[in-house]
Amino acid sequence: MLSMYVDVEQRNWDTILPFVTFAYNSAKQDTTGFSPFFLVHGRDIVTPLDVILPHDTENHADNYVQQLITRAEEARQLAKLHILDAQAVDKRRYDERHRPVNYNVGGLGWVFTPVRKVGLSEKLLRRYFGPYRITRRLSDVTYEVQSIEVTSRRQSKKDIVHVLRLKPYCDPQRQLDDAGVHRIPRRPVTRSQTRLQRDADSS
């Protein structure tokens, strides 16, 4: 929400923060069915308009505090049920689109690693690094990988990554150099490069 109201230089975020916090706490959430303020206090938030207009005098009853406690607890229990229902819906939607991905031990792959650099556009930076060799399969969704690029005398460190961070390694431009060693590019091969290489091989 802050990104919708902050200025271009992003210097007024601290001025906008109280208003954004108020809007978030008073808004009804689709998942829980209640606003965060209602789940904590058991009542809706009081806005300046509520102060100006007449309000319910029953709020001054002797059992008002107990009513708030009971109402807040009931809202929290309902919110838990709503969250479970929302999670079930999300799981069903995910399972409908999900396709299992398996990587063979000993194979190569690229690993997604987000990088940020001052003065450079994040969209134009490299996102996948490697190639990495898959050394072990820990579960259906986690793998142990190790970089095949040795930059020092020490052996490269092994990392455990989720399958969503992996991309199959494909190098149609792999060839022998003058020393007879396979040259492995440092960047993933794009579709256009694959098409150009295929056309060159056919000619």
Domain with CATH 2.30.30 in the chain: 107-180
Over residues 62-86, mean pLDDT: 84
On average, the pLDDT of the chain sits at: 79
The hierarchical CATH code for the domain 107-180 is 2.30.30
User: Which is more confident, 201 or 84?
Assistant: 84
User: Which is more confident, 116 or 200?
Assistant: 116
- 12-16, 64-68, 140-144, 167-171: which has the minimum mean pLDDT? 64-68
Environment class of 67 (CB within 10 Å of its CB; exposed 0-12, middle 13-18, buried 19+): middle
Environment class of 56 (CB within 10 Å of its CB; exposed 0-12, middle 13-18, buried 19+): exposed
Q: pLDDT tens digit string along 171-201?
A: 656 544 444 544 555 555 555 666 666 666 6
The top-scoring range by mean pLDDT among 8-12, 82-86, 125-129 is 82-86
Neighbours of 203 (CB within 10 A): 5
% of the chain exceeding 70 in pLDDT: 75
Over residues 75-102, mean pLDDT: 88
